[in-house]
Amino acid sequence: MPSERKYALITGSSRGIGRGVALKLAEAGAHVAINYVKNEAAANDTLAQVRKRGGDGFVVKADVAKQDEVQQVFKLVKSHFGKLDIFVANARPEVPEFYRPPMEIGLEHWAAAMDSQATSFLLSVRQAAELMSDGGRVIAITYAPGGVYGSWQPWVAMGAAKSAMEVLCRYFAVALAGRGITVNAISPGWVEDSVLNTLPQQVQHAIRDWNVTGWTPMGRLGTPADIGNAVALLCSEEASFITGQTLAVDGGASLMSPAMPLEIQQAPKPVAKAKTA
């Protein structure tokens, strides 16, 4: 990012991927509005780390699935910052709120995913654009495989909701292009300190082993810092001609074919060890 002060709002940024994004932007001196819904202590800790890295900001409690609370967030951003340069939609509900297979899912679980992702994004981008000068940046954190494959059955609501966000990115990219505002999505692979860590331990171990032994060519899972780096890239002046795209930040996992065993694909065995930070 350029040396000029930037102002960012990152939903769901008290921990995990959102925190990784906040810290990366803070390294460039950005002021960050840190959104949380339950864990105020974690949000304040993120703000403290933002300040250590040269940025500043404030914390704001809000459930992005609720329209009135979304509106309040942007009012506070306007009051504290006066404007907005970067909006990152990252928040999601806790897994038990939406995690049901398609033949069993109730409308309340479906709504928990859709309202927090697609509907919230629709409302938020329109309000963010009102606070942005020309050249702003909008980024959605999605999960592209969830909308491509149907095998992870209990992910149906979130898979559909994330896919809807990616579609909205393309529509908003066209709508806002005349102002130089770019709108993109980042699709992480499996990331430490994220939804992965909310799954049962045996599931976490299986996913890690599956990925680091070859299904992720880079040989490790991602980190929040990896996603923060990708956000910073899309926020740079050099990325001003990139819009309406979904960027996979997954160590090459999306390049592997699920239809063939690894030994047939003959991908070189990974040499990297899992990152811890």
Q: For residue range 30-70, what is the model confidence (pLDDT) as tens digits?
A: 999 999 999 999 999 999 999 999 999 999 999 999 999 99
Cα of first residue to Cα of last residue in the chain, in angstroms, is 22
**Can you name the residues that pair with 87 across neighbouring β-strands?**
9, 138
According to the model, what pLDDT value does residue 118 have? 97
According to the model, what pLDDT value does residue 199 have? 80
- 3-state class of 65 per DSSP? coil
d(C-alpha 219, C-alpha 211), whole Å: 7
d(C-alpha 53, C-alpha 167), whole Å: 34
The class that CATH gives domain 7-193+224-251 is alpha beta
According to the model, what pLDDT value does residue 256 have? 92
* DSSP for 253-269, written as a single string: GGGS-TTS-HHHHTPPP
64 phi/psi in degrees, rounded to 5 = -70, -5
pTM assigned to the model: 0.94
d(C-alpha 20, C-alpha 70), whole Å: 22
The tokens of 210 are what?
């599956």
Q: How many CB atoms lie within 10 A of CB 259?
A: 7
According to the model, what pLDDT value does residue 273 have? 57
Enumerate residues 6+ apart whose C-beta is below 8 A from 98. Answer: 109, 110, 112, 113, 157, 158
For tokens 């993120």, the residue is 46
Q: What is the pLDDT along the chain (277 residues), one digit of tens a residue?
A: 555 789 999 999 999 999 999 999 999 999 999 999 999 999 999 999 999 999 999 999 999 999 999 999 999 999 999 999 999 999 999 999 999 999 999 999 999 999 999 999 999 999 999 999 999 999 999 999 988 999 999 999 999 999 999 999 999 999 999 999 999 999 999 999 888 888 888 988 999 998 888 889 999 999 999 999 999 999 999 999 999 999 999 999 999 998 898 889 988 877 655 454 4
Amino acid at 245: Q
234 phi/psi in degrees, rounded to 5 = -70, -20
Amino acid at 203: V
d(C-alpha 140, C-alpha 11), whole Å: 10
For tokens 């709002």, the residue is 9
According to the model, what pLDDT value does residue 84 have? 98
According to the model, what pLDDT value does residue 272 have? 53
Amino acid at 24: K
